[in-house]
Structure formats: structure tokens, C-alpha cells
């Protein structure tokens, strides 16, 4: 399974803090994003940052491993 | 001894943080600090409270990297970063950053650099709670 987390404004638009997505061999980060964005378009309008296993990632062509943790995030506003 | 980098619900003491920083080295000739506070007015509205959400594990990891990067980039003797989460009211402390160096220029520049980088790199979001409703804050440059 892929664990997908949401925080702040994205979580509010999704209506959940996390969801589980079934892992498929060869699954790419971009594919996961596209699948979720199709169901949660309002939330993904404000997604501009992505973390994979706790690290910022820019390469959406990265393959996912089973049990990965992915976070789709809006711009930060701490401080 | 409190950790040099923390995310916490409770308030912090600037004096305790500065004393802890100073205890790292007697070669420290300058300390730059930044204190971020909650405003009770924003975008033309009264703000009664500010609440924070954070991707805690990554936020702490990024803040630790930020501290290490600042120490290396500005040749600091030590640095500390504390960020509150939960809910705060107008006037309450939110974030404290302190940079200690042999000279003032490095301390001040490092402090400015750390708060600017924190806003870009650390996954924390704040929501303003107002009489007209709640709104997530859109980051300012």
C-alpha cells in the first residue's frame, strides 16, 4: 500500500488527513498524483510541493516502492 | 538541556534559548535573533487565533537541516530554531531563531537567511481564525 498524507489547506479540501492507495508494480509518482487529482481536483489546484518518504521531490517520474509515504502539499506558511 | 531545534505546543523563553546558545562557545561575539509573533489583524480583518498544522517528522528534519546548512554557510558557532504549533492568540510567540557567530555580520545574515529558508522549506501551515470565518494563510514573499 501507498500511504498518502494531507495537511493544512489540502487536507481541508480533501476532507481527510490520509488515504491508502493500493501499490502496483512500476507505479510512478505522477500516476499517483493524476489518479488522486481526478477525484480531488479542488484540493490539487493548490498542490505545488510533493514529499516522498519525508524528503522534498521534484521528479514526478520517480517510481514508487510499496509502503512509500507520499505527501501532496500546498505552499508552506509557517514562521 | 533543551534540543537546539524543536517543534512544540508550549511557549518558549528567549532568555533560555539565548543562554543555551551562548553556552556553546565563549568565542561568540554576536548573536542575531528573530522572533515571529501572532498578529491580531490581517488582510483587513481582526484575527482572534492562529492555528498551525505541520507534517511534523519532515518539519523537524528540515529544521535540523536548515540549522546545519546555516552553521556551514555562515561559519556559525551555534544556532537554535524553535517553532510552535497548536493554537496561539494575538501577541503570542510563534517562532524563535538565534544564530551565534564570532562577528555580528555573520550572525545577523544567518538569522535572516534561516527565517526566509524556513518559510520555503519547512512544511507548516497556519490558519487565521476570524469573526468572519477561518482562512489558511497564503504565504507572502
Helix residue ranges per DSSP H, A20-66:
29-39, 41-44
Judge whether A67 lies within some domain.
Answer: yes
Q: Which whole number is the average pLDDT over A5-18?
A: 98
Alpha-carbon distance A27 to nearest alpha carbon in chain B (angstroms): 23
Q: Which whole number is the average pLDDT over B50-68?
A: 98
Judge whether A79 lies within some domain.
Answer: no
Q: How far apart are CA B45 and CA B128, in angstroms?
A: 10
Q: If we measure between CA atoms, which residue out of B20, B112, B27 comes closest to residue B77?
A: B27
What's the structural domain count of chain B? 1
Q: How far apart are CA A45 and CA A64, in angstroms?
A: 23
Q: Which whole number is the average pLDDT over B17-32?
A: 98
**For residue A36, how many C-alpha atoms fall within 13 Å in the half-sphere facing its CB?**
28
Three-state secondary structure of A40-53 = CHHHHCCCCEEEEC
pLDDT confidence of B28, banded at 50, 70, 90? very high
CB pairs under 8 A between A and B: 70
Q: B135, A9 in Cβ contact below 8 A?
A: no
pLDDT confidence of A47, banded at 50, 70, 90? very high
Judge whether B109 lies within some domain.
Answer: yes
pLDDT in tens, A58-78: 999 999 999 999 999 999 999
pLDDT at B138: 85
What's the structural domain count of chain A? 1
Question: pTM of the entire structure?
Answer: 0.95
Judge whether A78 lies within some domain.
Answer: no
A40 is in which domain, residue-wise? Answer: 2-73
> Mean pLDDT for chain B?
96
Alpha-carbon distance A56 to nearest alpha carbon in chain B (angstroms): 9
Q: By the CB < 8 Å criterion, does B65 face chain A? A: no
- The CATH number of residue A47's host domain is 3.10.20.30
A5 and B55 within 8 Å at the Cβ level: the answer is yes
B31 is in which domain, residue-wise? Answer: 5-132
Q: By the CB < 8 Å criterion, does B51 face chain A? A: no
**For residue B65, how many C-alpha atoms fall within 13 Å in the half-sphere facing its CB?**
13
- The CATH number of residue B97's host domain is 3.90.1170.40
Judge whether B137 lies within some domain.
Answer: no
Judge whether A68 lies within some domain.
Answer: yes
Judge whether B85 lies within some domain.
Answer: yes
pLDDT in tens, B75-107: 999 999 999 999 999 999 999 999 999 999 999
* Predicted confidence (pLDDT) at residue B141 exceeds the cutoff of 70: no
pLDDT in tens, A15-46: 999 999 999 999 999 999 999 999 999 999 99
Amino acid at each position: 500500500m501507498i500511504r498518502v498524507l494531507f495537511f493544512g489547506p489540502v487536507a481541508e479540501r480533501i476532507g481527510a488527513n490520509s488515504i491508502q492507495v493500493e501499490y502496483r508494480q512500476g507505479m510512478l509518482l505522477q500516476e499517483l498524483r493524476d489518479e488522486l487529482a481526478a477525484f480531488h481536483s479542488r484540493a490539487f489546484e493548490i498542490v505545488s510541493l510533493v514529499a516522498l518518504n519525508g524528503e522534498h521531490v521534484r521528479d514526478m517520474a520517480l517510481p514508487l516502492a510499496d509502503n512509500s509515504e507520499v505527501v501532496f502539499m500546498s505552499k508552506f506558511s509557517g514562521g | 538541556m533543551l534540543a537546539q531545534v524543536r517543534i512544540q505546543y508550549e511557549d518558549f523563553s528567549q532568555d533560555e534559548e539565548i543562554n543555551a546558545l551562548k553556552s556553546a562557545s565563549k568565542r561568540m561575539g554576536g548573536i542575531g535573533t528573530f522572533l515571529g509573533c501572532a498578529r491580531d489583524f490581517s488582510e483587513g480583518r481582526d484575527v482572534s487565533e492562529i492555528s498551525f498544522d505541520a507534517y511534523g517528522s519532515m518539519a523537524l528534519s528540515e529544521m535540523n537541516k536548515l540549522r546545519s546548512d546555516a552553521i556551514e554557510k555562515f561559519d556559525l558557532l551555534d544556532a537554535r530554531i524553535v517553532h510552535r504549533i497548536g493554537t496561539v492568540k494575538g501577541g503570542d510567540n510563534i517562532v524563535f531563531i538565534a544564530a551565534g557567530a564570532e562577528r555580528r555580520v555573520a550572525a545577523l545574515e544567518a538569522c535572516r537567511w534561516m527565517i526566509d529558508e524556513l518559510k520555503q522549506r519547512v512544511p507548516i501551515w497556519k490558519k487565521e481564525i476570524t469573526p468572519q470565518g477561518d482562512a489558511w494563510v497564503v504565504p507572502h514573499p
